[in-house]
Amino acid sequence: MLSGLGANPLALALILLAVIVATTCHEFAHAFVADRLGDPTARHLGRLSLNPLAHLDVLGTLFFVLFGFGWAKPVPVNPANFANPRQGMLQVALAGPLANVTVAFLLGVIGRFVAPADSPLLQEPLAMLAWINVILAVFNLIPIPPLDGSRILEALLPAQHAYGYARFQPYGVVVLLVLLYTGVVGRVMLPAARWLYAVSTGGLAGP
């Protein structure tokens, strides 16, 4: 998807816009669920917002432009404020990917029932935005720290195993970078992402 973008600045601008929208919805969902469960940390830090500037990470955005992957600022969460810390973290972690799938579903509805089917100027941006949301959802479900999937797995594991898994946290970024560099992540992700895209958008013409 990112091949040849250097020669197509319009496509790059569209993808960057899609990434900003997708990451903003993702991080806002984390902050919203944490706040509803009793942790005001994100709200006090101005992260309970749909303003992209509240979530934008300059280095993460630069990495996306240069290398095709990046990140937003993670939402700070204090599980001690939850009535049930493990269940609270599970819900907060799930909120981000679910928000992206919801956005993809809504874009699919717009693409099928609102935007003219013969208008590529509308259909292509909708498809790209939906695809980026699906990619972000699937990528974050990988159970490697610091991705949401690691928080989900940790919350689902028995307490004694969760503690051992948590000790893996400091090495997660290195493992993730190696898997990205070797292409393992792409080979695992893309079939799942294509399936989820088809299901969530109901057949909106994809990238």
Residues annotated catalytic, as ranges = 27
DSSP letter string, the chain: --TTGGG-HHHHHHHHHHHHHHHHHHHHHHHHHHHHTT--HHHHTT-SS--GGGT--HHHHHHHHHHS----PPPP--GGGSSSHHHHHHHHHHHHHHHHHHHHHHHHHHHHHTS-TT-HHHHHHHHHHHHHHHHHHHHHTSSSTTSHHHHHHHHHS-HHHHHHHHTTGGGHHHHHHHHHHHTHHHHHHHHHHHHHHHHHHTSPPP-
